Amino acid sequence: MSKPLKGKSVAFLATHGVEQIELTRPWEDLLEAGAHLHLVSLQSGEIDGYNHLDRADSFAVDITVDDAEAEHYDALVLPGGVANPDALRMNEKAVAFVRDFFAQDKPVAAICHAPWTVIEAGEVRDRTLTSYPSVKTDIVNAGGHWVDEAVHLDRGLITSRRPDDLDAFCGKIIEVLSGSEEF
């Protein structure tokens, strides 16, 4: 099997309360495609994944947001859940880390409630994106245009609604990172 992402480095920004499948599924697909991955979080140690409201597995953090730099990565993935992006958007360094990917014109992929962190970074205005439906009003209030689609790409921002959209979400990330789709 070809490894279209060999040599690409991707940061996953997440903390406690991350929706586990929205972390593990893109991780597995990108790893299989040959990407080098880092789990970036607010603290060192481990973070707890959740299956909706039920605690699930723990995941080892590779680097803290205090030490991570967007320039060392080719893309950023923001898994959802409710608690995870809510905590991230309250952390100035996490928000700055997200903002740096946009400033460097690097792809950012956000699923479910993860656009909250993109909103906090000030990167939604005049973009079209999707999310979990309850985030629609926040996107519109931040100057974005919300669409009800499995996956949407707008100037490097890849968004999806929910775990049911992971096939489309993961596929679009790989397309963009492999260069088969321009962003």
Q: Is residue 68 part of a domain?
A: yes
Q: Is residue 183 part of a domain?
A: no
Q: Is residue 53 part of a domain?
A: yes
What secondary structure letter does DSSP report for 148? Answer: -
Q: Is residue 104 part of a domain?
A: yes
Radius of gyration of the chain (CA): 15
The CATH number of the domain where 59 resides is what? 3.40.50.880
State residue 7's pLDDT score. 93
**What's the token pair of residue 23?**
């972390």
Q: Is residue 4 part of a domain?
A: no
The residue annotated as part of the active site, out of 16, 38, 113, 145, is 113
Q: Is residue 51 part of a domain?
A: yes
Q: Is residue 153 part of a domain?
A: yes
Q: How far apart are CA 71 and CA 90, in angstroms?
A: 22
Q: How far apart are CA 6 and CA 20, in angstroms?
A: 25
Q: How far apart are CA 115 and CA 65, in angstroms?
A: 18
Catalytic residue check, 145: no
Catalytic residue check, 112: yes
The residue annotated as part of the active site, out of 16, 112, 152, 170, is 112
Q: Is residue 95 part of a domain?
A: yes
Q: How far apart are CA 50 and CA 106, in angstroms?
A: 28
Range of the domain at 171: 9-178
What mean pLDDT is reported for the chain? 97
Q: Based on the structure, what is the number of domains in the chain?
A: 1
pLDDT, average across residues 95-102? 98
State residue 97's pLDDT score. 98
User: Is beta strand 128-129 parallel, antiparallel or unpaired with respect to 108-111?
Assistant: unpaired
Q: What is the pTM of this model?
A: 0.97
